[in-house]
Structure 1
Amino acid sequence: MVQQDGEAATLEEAAPTGLTSAQAAQRLAEGLGNDVPVRASRTVGQIIRANVFTRINAMVAVLFGIIAVIGPVQDGLFALVIVINTLIGTVQELRAKKTLDSLAIVNAARPRVVRDGTVVELSSQEVVLDDVVEVASGDQAVVDGVVVSASGLEMDESLLTGEADPVLKQPGDPIMSGSFVVAGSGRFRATRVGREAYAARLTEEAARFSLVRSELRSGLDRILRFITWLLFPIGGLLLYSQLFLGAQVTEEVSAGGTVSGPLADALRGMVAALVSMVPEGLVLLISIAFAVGVVRLGRRRCLVQELPAIEGLARVDVVCTDKTGTLTDTGMRLAEVRPLDGSHDVAGLTEVLAALAAADPRPNPSMAALRDGCGTPPEWPVASVMPFSSARRWSGVSFTTPEGSRHWVLGAPEALAAAGSPALAAASAVAARGLRVLLLGRADAAVDGPHTVVPVALVVLEQRMRPDAAPTLDYFARQDVAVKVVSGDNAASVAAVARDLGLDGAESPVDARELSPGEAHFGDTVEKATVFGRVSPEQKRSLVAALRRGGHTVAMTGDGVNDVLALKEADIGVAMGSGSPAARSVAQVVLLDDRFATLPHVVAEGRRVIGNIERVANLFLTKTVYSMTMATVVSLLAVAYPFFPRHATLINAVTFGIPSFFLALAPNTERARPGFVARTLRLAVPAGLVSGLAAMTTYLLVLDGASVPTPADRTAVLITLCATTLWVLLLVARPYVWWKAVLVAGMVAVLLTALLTPLGQAFFALDVSDPGAVVTALAVAGAAAAVITVVRVLDDRFLARRR
């Protein structure tokens, strides 16, 4: 911004020259730097501890400790599964951390600091006490400070105080970190940095994703707590029951050279039952699914600020998006300057536009198009400036020209022209063609004070459609995700773009100036309409809030400071990588390559992760329920438990453990719905009960009144349970594709290897030499599979009717 007289200077000359490099280095050495993390990422130690020291691992460690004392070693195989799963979970989360941290470096704020008299970009951590920081529209303050120079500087402190109105800042006024610039520019001196600054509490918190209520996490926590408390009474009851049979079973297991006796045998039976009750791989598979999702999205240049954000992505059913930068390219081209009367020629108006563009130190896309399309600006001294803001929707500059003072404003026609005026009608006609229209007006007084505007010309800008916009909208339509275009532009212009892209409902745009969030029909209008124009930042937030109150899960995309409030209000905020630092700091997802087409992959990845977690939870909880059922029946009938721990390991690995790992990473496009716990238990409880009762039915039939089960009896029960639960696996794995058939066939092959080979029979203590027992096992399993299928079909029909 150029000024010639002595009392006005450039921004660089008016502000202090800041620290020298030596002074900054000394302050950094003294611990006066802005030592806050780039983002809230867990350390390697925290990740390892989180994967190793878990409630489930503690339970399994206690059970393994019992087997380690009494033996044999085969019965302790279940602990090996925990070790492998823990290692896989740790490695995957470390991979996700590496991806997140590398992307976070790209996304991190780069404040501009005055060092040695020049403005340089630094990382937030390199800012030190007394540094002079330069800010302009869209920047977020990373430290606390005091303004030393300002040119129409307006700060939005709504994230700190809840007050939506921008605050005009003058020299001497405080700046709080976490606030962001909505208009103007200026410099401030850092007075609090690091842990003492508000940034240590707010900027980190803004960059951290935390779901207020995560149904998945809270639901699983409730289930795991319930299982934990049930382990004690069921284990105690089972141990008490088995002690009465220990002398009868001792002879069978003592041949292995291990500790024998009633107590040892009872402990083996208890461990075998409790191991199956513990859903040992469920929590780890959830961490793996989240981590793999983050890595996959990272390859698409998509930064997920925190792993649980993927849960929100899976539930999204409404996407609110801006027009510029998402549906259209951010870059624009000056198409026409159309005078509204004969008193000004195009050449003279082009000169004015060039001067306005040159006076803006941080031009937005519209000003950048004028700068590129209007040629060399005249050297007119600037007398006063009114910077652009989303709330005003116009900017202005007062110049000192050879002809005297001239005051020019440029902005939205609706903001500068009177309702019903010819200028506004002409602007609306051009906007209806999908073009961006600005109104150039002449003010009768300085632009930073009271004045009256006379419309002079229409400035027409062309926008280019993003080639990926139409396919992206088509994808959301196929996936039953509603898209609402929420823009500050003219409603007719926005609607024209939406119509060209084939968006349903674009024929009836809504002018947000006619809406009031307090009106009774506001929610209905927001629900039904698709295109909204002339939406203020506060209205964007109200619109998102209304959708959420209507039961929708809302994703909001944006790139400017006018989107910050809505991004914060939405369930999932999605910012463009080239957008303002303020927008990126409050978003849960950042599209670093600015590609709107990445958003379908983001939503699809969330659905894949959450849908597969629900499938896996079905399997593991079925195992828990049948284990509880068997343990309870065994205790009540006072019979020996039919399995050794090694049998439980084989059953768990073949039916749920190995398959769940592949199912957790499989494709899945079904949108997540509320009611995770209820839906999971609807299949797991009946399937588990039927499986457990079927296993005990086989056991009682083959035992035939005997007090001591033979290896053939135990094998028959194992066959029934494996066949029944493999059928549950088939039901959960729908829809079927070739690799799922191969997976189930592979598990059957592993089971047959253990049943039919001498090595497998010896290692797992199996015996299939009794054809009658095998036939009985298969017959009971067939009947149980039929019952489970009927229950599943009836449940599906009931849910379909409810939907």
Structure 2
Amino acid sequence: MTTMTATGLTDAEVAQRVAEGKTNDVPTRAARSVSEIVRGNVFTRINAILGVLFLIVLSTGSVINGAFGLLIIANSAIGIIQELRAKQTLDKLAIVGQAKPKVRRQSGSKPLAPSEVVLDDIIELGPGDQIVVDGEVLEEANLEVDESLLTGEADPIVKRVGDTVMSGSFVVAGSGAYRATKVGREAYAAKLAEEASKFTLVKSELRNGINKILQFITYLLVPAGLLTIYTQLFTTRADWHDAILRMVGALVPMVPEGLVLMTSIAFAVGVVRLGQRQCLVNELPAIEGLARVDVVCADKTGTLTENGMRVSDLKTLERSDVAEVLAQLAADDARPNASMAAIGEAYRMPPGWTATATAPFKSATKWSGSSYGEHGNWVIGAPDVLLDPASPVAEEAEQIGAQGLRVLLLGSSDLPVDDARAPGTVTPAALVVLEQRVRPDARDTLEYFASQHVAVKVISGDNAVSVGAVAATLGLHGETMDARRLPDEPEQLAETLEEYTTFGRVRPDQKRAMVHALQSRGHNVAMTGDGVNDVLALKDADIGVAMGSGSSASRAVAQIVLLDNKFATLPYVVGEGRRVIGNIERVSNLFLTKTVYSVLLAILVACAGLSSRFFGTDPLLFPFQPIHVTIAAWFTIGIPAFILSLAPNTERAHPGFVRRVMTAALPSGLVVGIATFVSYLIAYQGREAGETEQMQASTAALITLLVSSLWVLSVVARPYEWWRIALVAVSGLAYVVIFSLPLAQRLFMLDPSNLGVTSVALGIGLIGALLIELLWWVQGAVLGERRRLWR
């Protein structure tokens, strides 16, 4: 053990280093800057495609047909606004939740933001502290550091004066201080930490599914696009203005301009909503991931119970001076945990003994202590660890623990606490009974998970009987096991975890092994915790959830941080994830259906054009001009998709996102495409027909497309609520208004005046709608899902 020697930098020395740029300038989050957000949302591949097509249309002089160009502005503006909102929320929360190292300077020691640390600063360390920059140890008192997140080495490493500590590691035991030798981007873990904290959509099943869908669309787009360009420009013998407009009218709806945008918006809005509940999302897919979780491993202390404790009873066994001993042990602990802080609060009059040796508390050993020369060697910790579990004192402690109380044994040892064989033979002196308050919202949260068929495993370092008693008071049923009896073999461990619900005396390495065992059985595992002993399990779980009041190390590795320490926030995170997943599936159905019917229609028209060269038949112009497909997308996809992507949705997340979307969208797209083509063929009167007849044929095809597409929307919006019915009804009514107003007819090049053609088109559209309805019920049977019309 070393004493404090380093005094730290003066204010002038700090100012000099800041002026020289020797600061820890790694950003708190690797989020995109405002300029990067603007560029990222404006210069996209989809905007580029639409921009080129927009310029082509403008070259024909038809400004109204360039209305789809507004999509470029709308997509960019919406994307920029939502991402800026999410960035603002995350940056504010990140500042609140970031680890603040305690920096010692000549003006005094105080917590500072990591960015305020400069080269040669003296940084003090205690249990659970994250090491924010690289440095050299100057002082240590039983200092042990876990570097597993950097090196993979599972065992804590003892650090002596002169040893190096690396950023990204954390203190598991003891205390000390080190001098910052590398700051900013020179620090060992700076780049790793920067990458790990990015506001990103990577490693997301939903995002990966969207990418697969986009790949599928690309495979369709290229041949269909080339075929359309060739047939419209070189086989129709139409005026070049008309041919170009028809070509663009075929290509524009093939582009899924809103799919990626809606996905990003749904995630960004989720971040903002959770931010309003003081929930920091360090990795964006965590919103989605927690919705897929089927096992939650919850630490007891700080998660199911509140952090604060109080001494409720002291059972003296042999000696009468135990209050003095407890007061001295508490006074000598510079960084007390919750138990020792409660003891220090209850016993405030230390006798003034000088410690000759100390042993810090470790999760692996479950005890701490100090040696005081002629005053003896004192240890405090778990009774069933320090004593024979069958001894009368240990059994008494077990009985007290069965009431849900935490019990610590104070005992004298025959060995100094720094002896390699410590604690040696322990003579019981007193039982310290600590009381923890169960979180008032814990029971409701556990009941919510039970109702959602999410299993909860309570994993704690406390006595198993005590942990089981707390779990029972919360209505959590199941067997309790002492983790010292857990099998080491992974397969047997997985079987045990399936059988038992509550576990006590769990070591940090066992928590990690338990997470791995559950994952080996195909479970999606969430781990909640707040202490340094939870870090490894938090890191390896599918979703790590840390409490804001927990150690800086646990907050650093978790994907989600509950800044207000409310376990009850988790159901809202689950609900937000379900909203994102369910709504993006709906939106994907709409966009993919549009792409399928657009590609199919283009291929059918192109094939008809090619056949005309061989059979001498009249080539087909594409039925729609750009303005037609633009207004078709307004109320069948664009506006409804935006509303549906942000709507409440509590449906459980189901696996197989791509398969489910493809199964729904492909048949619907085929029906809409074929119905539209048939309607156009019936109304089409050949190239010799006048402009009025051609417009009537295009209008007929558009009516069929709108009727069948609106039914796709009505199916996607199920199960119905009043506002969903209103959404579909308003969308249909909007088209009735457009087709009824003479001004709109002229503006959008519509002519529904031929009642015979219009009636046939309407009838074909209704047949298409009927087929889509039948397909919906058949798909439900194939996928094994119960179809519901009403919520």
Does structure 1 residue 756 correspond to structure 2 residue 712? no
- Deviation at residue 174 of structure 1 after TM alignment: 1.0
Distance in 2, matches of 1:170 and 1:325, equals 32
Amino acid at match of 2:737: T
Structure 2 counterpart of 1:712, from 676, 696, 699: 696
Alignment gaps of 5+ in structure 1: 1-7, 250-260
User: Which residue number corresponds to residue 789 of structure 1?
Assistant: 773
Deviates more, 1:485-494 or 1:514-523: 514-523
**Counterpart in the other structure of 1:408:** 378
| Structure 1 residues 642 and 212: alpha-carbon distance in aligned structure 2, compared to 1, 3 A threshold | closer
1:338 aligns with 2:319: no
TM-superposed CA distance for 1:724, in Å, is: 0.6
CA distance in structure 2 between the aligned counterparts of 1:767 and 1:324, rounded to whole angstroms? 71
Q: Deviations over 1:204-254 (max 9, x none)?
A: 34444767732222222232233234333212212222235644x5xxxxx
Alpha-carbon separation, structure 2, partners of 1:244 and 1:187: 78
Of stretches 112-121 and 640-649 in structure 1, the one that deviates more from structure 2 is 112-121
8 Å CA contact 1:177, 1:203 repeated in 2: no
Name the CA distance, whole Å, in 2 between partners of 1:300 and 1:409. 42
Partner of 2:344: 371
SS in 2 for 1:567: helix
Give the whole-Å Cα distance in 2 for the aligned partners of 1:465 and 1:337. Answer: 21
Task: Tell me the residue number matched to 1:98.
Answer: 88
The whole-number CA distance in structure 1 between the counterparts of 2:196 and 2:329 is 35
Aligned counterpart, 2:669: 688
Q: Number of residue pairs matched?
A: 771
Amino acid at match of 1:424: A
Give the AA of the match of 1:425.
Answer: E
- Aligned match of 1:287: 264
What is the TM-score when the length of structure 2 is the normalising length?
0.95
Per the TM alignment, residue 798 of structure 1 is displaced from its structure 2 partner at its CA by: 2.1
Once the two structures are overlaid, the 10-residue window that deviates more, 209-218 or 186-195, is 209-218
1:300 is aligned to 277
CA apart distance, 1:42 = 1.1
Match of 2:244 in 1: 267
Change beyond 3 A, Cα 1:158–1:697: same
- Structure 1 residues 695-704 or 586-595, which shifts more? 695-704
- C-alpha distance in structure 1 between counterparts of 2:370 and 2:735, whole Å: 80
Q: Secondary structure at the match of 1:120?
A: strand
Residue pair 2:202, 2:285 contacting (<8 A) in 1 also: no
Query: Partners in 2 of 1:672 and 1:305 — Cα distance?
Result: 21
Match of 1:231 in 2: 221
User: Which aligned pairs between 1:380-399 and structure 2 lie closer than 5 A?
Assistant: 380-399=353-372
Q: Which moved more, 1:751-760 or 1:202-211?
A: 202-211
Superimposed CA distance per residue, residues 121-165 of structure 1 (whole angstroms, 9 cap, x where no aligned partner) = 221112111111111111011111111111111111111111121
Which range moved further: 65-74 or 86-95? 65-74
Percent identity between the aligned chains? 57
- 1:177-216 equivalences in 2 (<5 Å): 177-208=167-198, 213-216=203-206
Match for residue 641 of structure 2?
Answer: 660
**SS of aligned partner of 1:521:** helix
Counterpart of 2:727 (choices 743, 757, 760) is: 743
Match of residue 5 from structure 1: none
Unaligned stretches of 5+ residues in structure 2: 610-619
One-letter amino acid of the structure 1 residue matched with residue 443 of structure 2: A
The whole-number CA distance in structure 1 between the counterparts of 2:488 and 2:669 is 50
Q: Is the 8 A contact 2:532 2:554 kept in 1?
A: yes
Deviation by residue 1:658-678 (Cα, 9 ceiling, x = unmatched) = 100000000111232321111
Name which of 703, 709, 715 aligns with 1:731: 715
Q: Per-residue CA shift, 1:69-116, capped at 9, x if unaligned?
A: 113111111110231122011011101101110111111221111111
1:457 aligns to 2:430 (yes or no) = yes
> Does the CA contact (< 8 Å) of 1:567 and 1:583 recur in 2?
yes
Query: 1:112 touches 1:119 (CA, 8 Å); kept in 2?
Result: yes
SS at match of 2:349: coil
- Which residue number in structure 2 is paired with residue 496 of structure 1? 469
How is 1:11-26 mapped onto 2 (pairs within 5 angstroms)?
11=3, 14-26=4-16
- SS at 1:668's partner residue? coil
CA–CA distance in structure 1, aligned partners of residues 102 and 54 of structure 2: 58
CA contact (8 A) 2:583 2:645 kept: yes
CA distance, structure 2, for counterparts of residue 405 and residue 480 of structure 1: 56
Counterpart for residue 175 of structure 1:
165
Q: State the alpha-carbon separation in 1 of the partners of residues 286 and 70 from structure 2.
A: 31
Which of 705-714 and 480-489 deviates more?
A: 705-714
Secondary structure of 2:621's counterpart equals: coil
Segment drifting more, 200-209 vs 79-88: 200-209
Report the secondary structure of 1:460's partner residue: strand
Please give the TM-score of this superposition, normalised by the length of structure 1: 0.93
State which drifts further: 696-705 or 625-634: 696-705
Note if 1:774 corresponds to 2:774.
no
Aligned equivalents of 1:291, 1:592: Cα separation in 2? 19
Give the residue type in structure 1 aligned to 2:403: R
2:648 is the counterpart of 1:671 = no
- Check whether the contact 1:141–1:176 (CA below 8 A) recurs between aligned residues: yes
Partner in structure 1 of residue 101 of structure 2 = 111
The DSSP-based 3-state class of the residue aligned with 1:575 is: strand
Q: Secondary structure at the match of 2:776?
A: helix
1:617 aligns with 2:592: no
Q: Counterparts in 2 of 1:301-700, with a 5 A limit?
A: 301-340=278-317, 343-345=318-320, 348-400=321-373, 404-449=374-419, 450-451=421-422, 452=424, 453-505=426-478, 508-638=479-609, 639-700=620-681
Instruction: Output the aligned Cα RMSD.
Output: 1.8
Contact 1:440 1:458 in 2 (8 A): yes
Q: How does 1:34-113 map to 2 (within 5 A)?
A: 34-113=24-103
Q: Which amino acid aligns with 2:694?
A: T
Return the alpha-carbon distance in structure 2 between the equivalents of residues 41 and 482 of structure 1.
34
Q: 1:276 aligns with which of 236, 243, 253?
A: 253
1:631 partner SS: helix
| Contact 1:82 1:281 survives alignment (8 Å) | no
DSSP 3-state at the match of 1:530: strand
Separation in 2, partners of 1:455, 1:538: 29
CA distance in 2, matches of 1:697, 1:203: 58
- Which piece of structure 1 moves more, 425-434 or 628-637? 425-434
Q: Which residue identity does 1:686 align to in structure 2? A: P
Counterpart-to-counterpart distance in 1, 2:530 and 2:624: 60
